[in-house]
Amino acid sequence: MPNTETTGAVLQARDVSKSYRSGQQELHILRNLDLSVQAGETLAIMGASGSGKSTLLNLLGGLDRPDSGSIFLSGADICGLKADQLAGLRNRHLGFVYQFHHLLPEFSAIENVAMPLVIRGLAPREARQEALPLLQQVGLEQRVDHRPAALSGGERQRVAIARSLVSCPDCVLMDEPTGNLDEETAAQVLELILQINREQAVAMVLVTHDARVAANLDKRYQLTDGQLQRL
């Protein structure tokens, strides 16, 4: 079990357990798991298919609740928050990137990136102004008005990365962000992720099955039998 550090932690899981029922059987996915994510560091979480990696990421992101234990985001125990409080905290402190970009097809690239700010209550025009520098940062300044269908897979993932950063989060959670890309594009997206980490010091937790991707991150963990082991 990894040590749970406290100084500088932006995201923590303490003694977290999660189970699901399948018919008459109870499946124990996570067992008394601890994890600490420090400001500005990058973590890779690896594990076999079905080991609970995505479940852990959903718990860290407040998209699901543990059966027991606590999860702290920027010092707040998110397990005890009401839905609207949790949504507000998540909007300000967390970013999300998935294997499939989950962009809204009817909106342009810049509208997709601006969406978290619009949800927060920012005027659409002001939100677009905030979003534009991020699209420039990920190399899409010529594609801001294109809808997702007009973008390549790598471009769509770059939009998703820009969207995850628009709220200036403390931490970005990534679920196989390069898993749906060809090898060359995946390498480009990974380098972009690492560059943003270096320049902005935003913490990143990345679930991946690819040891080559994990090797580039500060810390690497293996999720086995519901527990994390430091590699």
Q: Would you state the pLDDT for residue 30?
A: 94
Q: Would you state the pLDDT for residue 182?
A: 83
What residue ranges define each of the domains in the chain, with the CATH number in brackets? 40-51+82-230 (3.40.50.300)
Residue 101 to residue 104: CA distance in whole angstroms: 9
pLDDT, averaged per 10 consecutive residues of the chain (231 residues), comes to 55 94 85 94 91 92 92 90 89 85 91 93 93 91 94 90 91 88 86 89 92 93 93 90
Q: Would you state the pLDDT for residue 180?
A: 78
Q: Would you state the pLDDT for residue 5?
A: 43
Q: Would you state the pLDDT for residue 7?
A: 53
Q: Are the CB atoms for 44 and 221 separated by under 8 Å?
A: yes
Burial of 179 (0-12, 13-18, 19+ CB in 10 A): middle
Angle value at C-alpha 210, between 92 and 214, nearest 5 degrees: 55
